[in-house]
Structure 1
Amino acid sequence: MSPQPSPDPDLAPPSLLPVEATTSTWTRFESRSNYDTLGVSRGRFLEGDAFFYRARLGLRTNPLDLGNGVTGLVQFSPQASGRLGSVGTTTERPLGIYEGYFRFQGERASFDGGRFMMNYGDALVIGNLDWNQPGRAFDGFRARYAFEGAFIDGFVTLTARDGLTPAEGHPTVTEPFLGGDVYFWGLYAGLGPLVAKGLELDVYALGLSNVKTEGLPSADDPTVSLTRGGATEVTLGARVKQKVGALDYRLEAGTQVGTRPITGTTGGSQDVFAYQADGEIGFTLGSRLRLALNGVVASGDDPNTQDAEGWFELFPTGHKFLGLMDIIGPRTNVASGVFKGTAHLTDSLLFLLDAHVFTRLEDGGLGQTGTDKFAGYEVNTQLMQKIGAPGRLRGLYGIFIPNAGYYASGDPAHYVEIEAGIVF
């Protein structure tokens, strides 16, 4: 029998192997008390206790040669998350997709399409919300141009559609064209390497556009037809972060202009002018101790004007900035000062302390019943134990001491977390 010819390498089928795998899998116990009394028990931050979990597997395929210096890959991240005990013992837990997108990659530029995670800077305006069991990802398109260690990203994402039919996902609101859509789009650039080694310097322009929506059924009375005004709000901001010897500093500030929609029988929009700033300075003592001071201010809405002056936080990992107890709520209408301490007790055991003081700039903050603007104090303590490189065990205790002139009660609120998992 004559030998068979070798297959033509140009005709070999493309292969997605080998696949690079990562995971973020953990279970966490949470207990909250006195949130009801303060009027801040809501949504994800309810009074009582529960176990939450996440099981996420990230799969990134081998880059495929597409010719002309371009490669392609697929990122696929199935995930299950939720609350333990919510489906019983004989019901399958739902499996979803955290990320699912393709990427075209050139020498300097790349293009992504699908559902992808975004996390920029310190996650103050765009974050992956990694502490929350589902996390956060965006549906849309993203492009990057990288050069000399710097990058410029541009993206367009669809974050909401009003009046979706459950079966097909098509909007029942069709007036006008694209009615019911909300788009989050923008440019984010990391330019630090162009200025100095070790410097993080970011600038961004981010837009949130609400398409005018006519014929939107009222949630309270479906027979009532509402109109949501079309509006576009733009966030302009900058961030700088650097470590110089024993000193480190961070500053991020932004302003918001444009218009915000008003939902009602008459629609319309409000003019916007809002601002925020977040700065921190820290000192490292030896190799195991860091002490820092942090200040935060975010404008609030003046009820006596027709404009919108309250900062809209966009899509941050907000949990990490305004107290891990999540009593203060979103980054708006707030000023705070924070003392931070981080101590490496051993090579694998870390202790963290955050002590906050909070006040409101305007009336109307979460849980407010009194006339005072001073809200109270919060102290968070954490112990983090690494178990090898990917394993971790963490415990947290937080106490919030409220001002009885602001909340309905002066009794402290308490919060406990215990978490274990594998993340790499």
Structure 2
Amino acid sequence: MRYLPHTDQDRADMLRVIGVETIDELFRDVPADKLLKEAVDLPRHKSEMEVARLMRRLAAKNRAAGDGPFFLGAGAYHHHVPASVDHIIQRSEYLTSYTPYQPEISQGTLQTLFEFQTQVAELTGTEVANASMYDGSTATAEAVLMACRVTKRSKAVLSGGLHPQYREVVETLANMEDDECISLPPDPKGGEDLLAEISEDVACVVVQSPSFYGQLIDLKPLAVRCREKGVLLISVFTEVVSLGLIEPPGAQGADIVVGEGQSIGNALSFGGPYVGLFATKQKYIRQMPGRLCGETRDREGKRGYVLTLNTREQHIRRDKATSNICTNSGLCALAFTAHMTLLGGDGLRKLALRNHERACRLADALGAISGVEVVNESFFNEFSIRVPGDAAALVEKLADAGIVAGLPVSRLEPDCGLDDLIVVAATETATDDDIAAYASALAAAL
């Protein structure tokens, strides 16, 4: 089957129409020393069937999360996604729809986004949520920029329990706006004194719970102090399933709640795409980034859905836009909504309980090994362990034995004296055999 449709004559005709003689002339603005002198070392002129075989062989070199014991988390989690979710998002009316600019022909897409917003608002205990962001890290950075706009201050305090990659994204975007970030040292035990960092010149405090190290953080004392000082409290999560058990951040007093929604409806996919969740109080709605779908009535009184607020720079607001992120993760948001609808409230609670139970069993198994210390006093489905020696080398050794043992903290926090820490996650996909295999291999490796 031929799948490269242009013949030599086709290409010659196109070059003639645009007024050049060779394809090389199209690249004349590229410095000559930057151009490749030889063709890229790739197979030439393969048929569609041969290409498919080649790609399958390359893909077989990967090790997917479901191929063996898997305990890696740190912002991306291995959960079971029902097959019906994939079926729904591949329906043509969803898969081929980019963005609902014309409400009269986009009612289905708009309704699913409206349902998504409702689910996120209920999960986070807030009054309003947007139609999603790119991912949890960019949602966090946008929340900091929003807090600076609302308070008209330019300093953000970032907890030592914030995911290191989230922190870096926040610092990057804040630097572009000339805002100041005070990043506290890594906090594996959850003992930092954030109350002492809150003052009248601070725009916001950013706290992750469960933290990067798995610690659960009580937001209520922080919320009280923040209100006293006119500071906004931004609550971050990387594991949205935790909201099935933990008191919602909005109910604890958070002003803005952001995080990663990948765990519901979206597979790991070797790193994305994922879906950022963003929710806040009604009074801040016009400072919220992204887009907002609303429910209305048409001239005949029939229910309909529209884009109520568009705060994007490519629309009429232009330079007054509250966000420089030009789109939302529509298909991933749909997958989230489909899975969340299948679960319902009771299903989410049962899933969360299962996750916590698996993590408790894993913590007991690892903590019983001589030389291994479970650092956390509290956790949901993720916690930190301290091991003798170099944690990164130990994780590599266990990987050679077919066990993905977690994330060595030194990979994301080098030169911080945490070379002996591993962040470990256990979801509902971790079986008793997986846990036993991890514990046995770890004991043998020490």
| TM score, norm. by length of structure 2 | 0.22
> Comparing both structures, which one devotes a greater share of its residues to helix?
2
More strand by share: 1
Higher RCO (CA 8 Å, separation ≥ 6 residues): 2
